[in-house]
Structure 1
Amino acid sequence: MSGIIVVHELDTPAPVRTGKGPAQGAGAPVRQVHAAPAAPGTTTEPGPRTLCGKDTFAMEPARWTPSGQPGSPWYPPQEANLVCSSCDAVMDDS
């Protein structure tokens, strides 16, 4: 599962960082959990679109990293009820 970044679609727009300190809007509830390919040349930043085709610009990368172990989920287990079914279907096919 290398090259997959887990991203959170938030209920509010992505936090905007204005200098030092926490980003404004940080801690917004997660609406849905998506998978995105890593941006070219990096292993920590999502590419421009999720596997289901949504724009990742307003999404936040999750702290979760898929393990790549057979049978392990690509998403954080505690967020299983928030997983995008389209992203999950693509991940199941890979």
Structure 2
Amino acid sequence: MSEIVVYELDNPAATRSAAERTGVERRVRRVHAAPAVPGSRTTAGPRTLCGKDTFAMETAGTPEDPGAPWYPEEHASLVCPDCAAVMEI
């Protein structure tokens, strides 16, 4: 199974239309991992590894380098501890 990194963003419902109109980037609240949809390496499944709904989350990508952490280094302090525990197994 391959995992995809997804971002839980600040106020996804309230900010989405404002961000689209203004081009303002929403801040990342938490970094999660989600299983990929079967047959895809770019589409996250419906739930993260910790059980959150991915519908309003933004896809960040797929971990590529086996020696690097699964999450982007700039968001290390925002990693979901439950997703991290599953990824370390």
Q: TM-score, normalised by structure 2?
A: 0.83
Letter in 2 for 1:67: E
Partner of 2:38: 40
Q: Secondary structure at the match of 1:5?
A: strand
**Mapping of residues 63-74 of structure 1, within 5 Å:** 64-70=61-67, 72-74=68-70
Give runs of ≥4 in structure 1 deviating > 4 Å: none
Equivalent pairs, count: 85
The Cα of 1:40 is off from its aligned counterpart by: 1.9
Which has more helix, going by share of residues?
Answer: 2
Q: Can you list the C-alpha shifts for 1:11-47, whole angstroms capped at 9, x where unaligned?
A: 121635xxxxx83475111000000000122110100
Gaps of 5+ in 1: 17-21
Measure how far apart 1:90 and its partner are: 0.1
Matched, 1:89 2:85: yes
CA-based RMSD: 2.0
Consecutive unaligned residues of structure 2, counting only runs of 5 or more, are none
